[in-house]
Amino acid sequence: MSVVVLGAGMHPWGKWGRPFTEYGVAAAREALSDAGVGWGDVQYVVGAATIRNGYPGFVAGATYARALGWSGARIASCYAACASGAQAIDIARTRILAGLCDVALVVGADSTPKGFFKPVGGERPDDPDWLRFRLLGATNPAYFGLYARRRMALHGSTPEDFAAVKVKNALAGSLNPMARYRGTVTAEEVLASPMVAEPLRLMDICATSDGGAALVLASSAYARRRGATDAVRLAAVSTVTPTFPSTVLELPEFATDSRAAVPAPERPFRAAVAHAAYEEAGLGPREVSFAEVYDLSTALELDWVEDVGLCPPGEAEKLLRAGDTALGGRVPVNPSGGLASFGEAIPAQAIAQVCELTRQLQGRAGGRQVEGARVGLAVNQGLFGHGSAVIATR
């Protein structure tokens, strides 16, 4: 038995200023309609949690179930920072594979504050995320900038390379009705935008957004009984953690583990996240038709292109300059427009990525369609070692 995506739905990203539940319910209803499944048929609901929205966010599964109408369905809620959506998918998928249900609904949505994310309130000196704000003054863009500087030092990347990533993703986003930013940009506009965290400018960094995404997952047998002929198969879900010693600094941590007694692992964390998904799916990077990667900044997209094995370290710029990662290229990266076009709505991000995998693999992505797409990869990463990778196939 396998698990398939029977339906996908989204609420457009933006800054709408409404309760997150509205976005999640809208996405859920679209996913149910797309699947041809009634709310009363859903046996299990998993809500990806949003910690900024009080108890309704923490108990997201019950929040969505109540908003859709109490039905007696079983529920779960989970939080794993930006990997929350992938973990929600994994929970639902595992329950289906265990034979405990046939059809499940996965929902994530967020209503975000203005400006960049800040730490959760209160005094928490044992929380490294709170400490990096308090001790280092390191907002998210600050460490995006550090990653970009590291890439420039290691691989010779330039601000022009970063700008080219934004240009590419903005073009894809202009073709996506769910994206928050629908306008194309030029490299000159990116390079002229205000400096935020050197070397990254305003257009190099993703925004914080409101939005929602949902999936209806089902067993392949259930899909066949309903006559679904174009359901997309979830071939792998990876939620691995780092392997000791973790020798690449990942904020909010302030230091790496020591290699004095233990050699470094074969793969750093981000590469290991994708590798575990490839192993489970029985596929490799060469078979990937397109990828949705975690472009918190333009520089980070280049890192992820290498982390998921689309090219060796230091060669992502070659793919970019050759047009290989653009729409119509050999292996398009972020054909949805990525976070550059959407912004962060944390619990919904990984789910939205799988919505894009589904649309692409079903040939329903419109002007941003990747021709002949058969294997899609989605990766992102949550704070504190939460891996997130999904592989979907036709």
Of 337, 299, 335, nearest to 317 by C-alpha is 299
Of 333, 355, 350, 360, nearest to 110 by C-alpha is 350
**Distance, CA of 204 to CA of 141 (rounded, Å):** 10
Q: Tell me: the pLDDT tens digits for 106-142? A: 999 999 988 888 887 788 888 888 888 888 888 899 9
* DSSP per-residue codes, 26-40: HHHHHHHHHHT--GG
Of 72, 56, 53, nearest to 64 by C-alpha is 56
Give me the phi and psi of 59, to 5 degrees please. -105, 50
Ordered domains of the chain (ranges, CATH):
3-115+208-225 (3.40.47.10)
What pLDDT was estimated at residue 269? 94
What pLDDT was estimated at residue 155? 97
| Strand pairing class (74-78; 44-48) | parallel
Under the banding of pLDDT at 50, 70 and 90, the label for residue 204 is very high
Other beta carbons within 10 angstroms of residue 372's beta carbon come to 8
Contact 325, 368 (CB under 8 A): no
* DSSP per-residue codes, 68-103: H-----EEEEE-BTBTHHHHHHHHHHHHHHTTS-SE
Going by the DSSP 8-state scheme, the letter that residue 348 receives in this structure is G
Q: Which residue has the tokens 């891996």?
A: 387
Of 272, 252, 293, 225, nearest to 384 by C-alpha is 252
- The CA angle 283-80-389, to the nearest 5 degrees, is 10
Q: Tell me: the pLDDT tens digits for 263-296? A: 999 999 999 999 999 999 999 999 999 999 999 9
Contact 330, 174 (CB under 8 A): no
Q: Tell me: the pLDDT tens digits for 146-175? A: 999 999 999 999 999 999 999 999 999 999
Contact 364, 356 (CB under 8 A): no
Three-state DSSP state, 288 = coil
Burial class (CB in 10 A: 0-12, 13-18, 19+), 189: middle
**Distance, CA of 342 to CA of 177 (rounded, Å):** 11
Q: Which residue has the tokens 């809500």?
A: 47
Contact 276, 377 (CB under 8 A): no
Contact 378, 295 (CB under 8 A): no
Over the range 113-132, which residues count as b (16 or more CB within 10 Å of their CB) and which as e? eeebbeeeeeeeeebebbbb
Of 62, 81, 80, 82, nearest to 72 by C-alpha is 62
Q: Which residue has the tokens 């047998």?
A: 221
Beta bridge partners of 393: 233, 375
Under the banding of pLDDT at 50, 70 and 90, the label for residue 33 is very high
The proportion of the chain whose per-residue pLDDT surpasses 70, expressed as a percent, equals 100
For 56, 95, 151, the CA distances from 331, given in Å and listed in that order, are 40, 33, 22
Peptide bond just before 313 cis, omega within 30 deg: no
Under the banding of pLDDT at 50, 70 and 90, the label for residue 343 is very high
Burial class (CB in 10 A: 0-12, 13-18, 19+), 255: exposed
Residues making up the chain, counted from first to last: 394
Q: Tell me: the pLDDT tens digits for 59-97? A: 999 999 999 999 999 999 999 999 999 999 999 999 999
Q: In what order do the strands lie in the sheet with 210-219?
A: 74-78, 44-48, 103-110, 210-219, 3-14, 232-238, 386-393, 375-382, 290-292
Q: Kindly state the average pLDDT of the residues 367-382.
A: 97
Return the amino acid letter for 287: E
CB contact set of 383 (below 8 Å; sequence gap of 6+):
81, 82, 129, 252
Is 90 exceeded by the pLDDT of residue 8? yes
pTM of the entire structure? 0.96
Burial class (CB in 10 A: 0-12, 13-18, 19+), 367: exposed
What pLDDT was estimated at residue 10? 98
Q: Kindly state the average pLDDT of the residues 198-222.
A: 97
Q: Using alpha carbons only, how large is the chain's radius of gyration in Å?
A: 20
